[in-house]
Chain A
Amino acid sequence: MSGAILPAPSQRTATTGSGIGMSAWANMFFVLPYIIVVVALVIAPLFLGIWLSFQDYDMLGGWAGGVAFENYTNLFSDRIFLGTIRNTLLFVVMTTPAFVVVGLFLAITLNSHLRRHAVLRSVFFASSVLSVTVVTLVWRLVYLPNQGLLASVTNLLGLPGIDPVTSETWALPGVAVVTVWWIIGLPMTLFLAALQQIPKEIYEAAALDRASRWATLTSITLPSIRRTIVVVTLLEVILQFQLFGQALLITGGGPDNRSRPMVQFIYETGFRDLQVGFAAAASQVLFALMLVAAIVQFWVGRSRDER
C-alpha cells in the first residue's frame, strides 16, 4: 500500500521546479486578504491622518484648505494640550514600572502547581476581561468620598481622607491604580509563560551553588526572562500612552485638567468640537511620542542584548 502512495509526492516536487514563478503568484493570493485589510485599516488612515493634520478641516465648516503647520503651532501654544502631554507621560511613568514590578511579583509568587495558586492566577487575570465601564463603576464606589472603601480604610487608620476624583494631586495616581488593577493579568501571564521556560536544572544547579533566594532572583530568574521584561515594558508603554476610558469615566480629565490624557484631548477636539484637522495634528504628536518611546526601549533592550 504505502509503496504505491509514497512515490507520488516526489513526482510532485519534480514538476513544481518549472512552476516556481506561477506558485509565487499563487502565494500572493494567500496574503492578499491580509494586505487589503492592513492597507485599508492601517496604512491609509495613517497617511490620511498625517494629511488631515495639515488641513483646516472642520466637520461643520468643511474643508478650508491647507494650513501648513498652523495646527501644530496652535497645539504647542495650547496650555491644555501641553498639560495632557505632561499627564500622559506621567501616567506612563507611573503605570509601566508598576505593571512590570507587580506583574513579575505575581508571576513569581504564583508560578507553581498548587491549586490555590491556579485559582489566584485566574482571579488576577479575571479583571482583564471586564469592560472599562464596569471597572470604573467599581472603582467609583471605592473612591466614593466618605463612604467608599478607600475612605473607610483611611478613616480606620486615622489617615487624612484622599479623594482621587476631586484632588489635583491624587486624580492621576487614582486613575493609574485603577488601570494597574484592571489589566495586571496580561503582564502576569506573559511573565508566567517566560518563567515556565526556564529549565528546572538551572535552579537545581543554583541550589547546589548555595545561591540565596535573592541571588537566585537577580542572577538566574531576571536575566533568564530579560527579553520578556523588555517586551512587557514596550507593550505597556504603547498601551498606557493611549489612556482614555478610565480617565474620562472616573475624573472626566479634571480637576483643573490634572488627569486629562492626550487621547481625551483628541477625542474632545475631534468629536465634540469637530475640529478634525486640529485633532489629527494632536494625534500625530501622540503617535510621534509613542514611536520615540518604542524606539528608545527597543534600542535599550537590543544594546543590552549584545553586551
Chain B
Amino acid sequence: MGGLSLRGLSKSYGSLDIMRDLSLEIADGEFAVFLGPSGCGKSTLLRMVAGLEAPTSGEIHLGNRRIDAIAPGERGVAMVFQNYALYPHMTVKQNMAFGLRNVGTPRDEIASKIAIAAKMLEIAHLLDRKPGQLSGGQRQRVAIGRAIVKQPEVFLFDEPLSNLDAALRSRTRIELARLHQRVQSTMIFVTHDQVEAMTMATRIVVMNHGRIEQVGAPMEIYRKPSTRFVASFIGSPSMNFLPVVQAGESDGRALVRLADGTVVATEILSASVPRSGEMTLGVRAEHVTPGSGTAARVDVVERLGERTLVYAIVDDGSTIVYDEPGDVAPAIGEHVRLSLDPANVMLFDAAGLAYHAEPRA
C-alpha cells in the first residue's frame, strides 16, 4: 500500500505537448478526482499511471516503488475503462477470473474472490452471461468487479459513468463512494462532470490544457477557486462574471464599480488586488439577492424544484443568474434590483487569477 506520487510528468505526441511538468502527491486511500474539460489530458494522465502510455519525461512512484518503467500488469493498478472494455467472448465470471488466472491464482481462491465481489456489486445472478447480454449499468458493474478481484493498490476510473443514464449515474456515484469506504484503496477518478467530482472526491484536481489549475477539497474549490477557469467550471449554474473597474477602498476593502455605475462593496483586502488592469467580478447565484442594488430585467426563469433560478439582464447586456428566495418568481420582463453579497464576491485579474474575501478579525 502507499500513496501515488507524480513527479514532473510530461507527455507529448510528436511536437504536440499534451502535458508539461505535472507534479502531484496522492495520499494512500484517497479518492482523488481529476476534473477538467474534454481533451485536457485526463485520460492521458490515467493511462500513464496504468502503463498504457509512456510519459515523455517524469517519474511515477507508488508507495516506495518507482513504477513508470514496469509493465502495466505489474504496477498494482486496475483500470475501469470508459466503455468498459470487457472481453466480449468471455462470460462475466471468466472476465473477472482472467487477471487472476494469469498470475496463477488457485481455482478455489478465484471462485471465492469472484463470489465476494459479485455479492458486493449485486451481479451474482449475471456470472454466466456474456457482456453482450448485459445492460450498460450491469456491464459497468462487471468492469468494476474485474478491477476489485485483483485487489489493486490503486483503482483508476476513466469517466466510468458517462455512458449511464442520469438515475443510474447518481446511484452509481453513491455506490462508488461506498466501495471506496469499504476497500480503502487509493482511487483516481477522471471526469468532466463537476457533480461527480463534488460528490465523490476527497480531493479534486482541476485540470486544464494538461496543467493542474487547482487541487483541493470539494468545498474549498467551490468556495475559493484559485482561477477564473476553476470558478467557471465548478458549480451549477455557472458563476456570474461581470466586468468591473476599481473604485477605491473602504476600510481597507476594495470597492468596484459595475458597468451601470453601481458601486459594489467587497471583503477583499484592497492591498492584495493589483492597482491597474481589467478586473472581473465573480459571484455565485446563491450570493445574489433581489431587493436593492443594480437594476436588471428578468429574462428567463428556471424552476428546478428545490430552487428557482432567475436569469436577469443588466444594463450593459451581461446576464446575472440568481436564486429566487421566495416561492413566487418574478414575471419575465419584470424589473428587479440585485445586490451582491460582499463576503462572497470575488475578483479576477486579467490573467484569471482570483482574489478572495478575507474574514475580518
Contacts and interface: CB of A to CB of B under 8 A. Distances in A.
A229 to B, nearest CB: 13
Contacts of B81: 201, 204-205
Interface stretch (A82-90, A116-124, A219-227, A238-246): A219-227
Interface stretch (A34-42, A131-139, A208-216): A208-216
Given A205-B81, A220-B87, A224-B88, A211 B71 contact: no
A212 B71 CA distance: 11
Interface string A6-41: 000000000000000000000000000000000000
A210 B79 CA distance: 13
Contacts of A223: 89-90
B85 A204 contact: yes
B102 interface: yes
A215 B98 CA distance: 9
Contact of B103 (A205, A210, A220, A224): A210
Contacts of B51: 207-208
A37 B265 CA distance: 88
Contacts of A224: 88-89
Interface string B168-205: 00000000000000000000000000000000000000
A269 B60 CA distance: 76
A199 B85 CA distance: 8
B102 A208 contact: no
A187 to B, nearest CB: 21
Interface in A180-233: 199, 201-202, 204-212, 215, 219-220, 223-224, 226
Interface in B143-164: 146, 150
A205 B85 contact: yes
B50 interface: yes
Nearest to B101: A215
Interface string B93-113: 000001100110000000000
A208 B50 contact: yes
Contacts of A206: 87, 98
Contact of B87 (A207, A210, A212, A219): A219
Contacts of B71: 207, 210
B317 to A, nearest CB: 31
| Consensus secondary structure, chain A interface | helix
Contacts of A212: 102
Contact of B78 (A208, A211, A226): A208
Contacts of B90: 219, 223
A274 to B, nearest CB: 54
A252 B33 CA distance: 74
Contact of B72 (A201, A208, A220, A226): A208
B98 A207 contact: no
B309 to A, nearest CB: 34
A277 to B, nearest CB: 50
Given A215-B102, A219-B98, A208 B89 contact: no
Interface string B62-91: 000000000111100111010101111110
A162 B86 CA distance: 51
Taking each of A201, A207, A210, A223, which has the highest tally of chain B beta carbons within 10 Å of its own beta carbon? A210
B52 interface: yes
Interface of A: 199, 201-202, 204-212, 215, 219-220, 223-224, 226
Given A205-B87, A224-B88, 9 more contacts: A199-B85, A205-B86, A208-B50, A208-B72, A209-B73, A211-B73, A211-B98, A212-B102, A223-B90
Interface of B: 50-52, 71-74, 77-79, 81, 83, 85-90, 98-99, 102-103, 146, 150
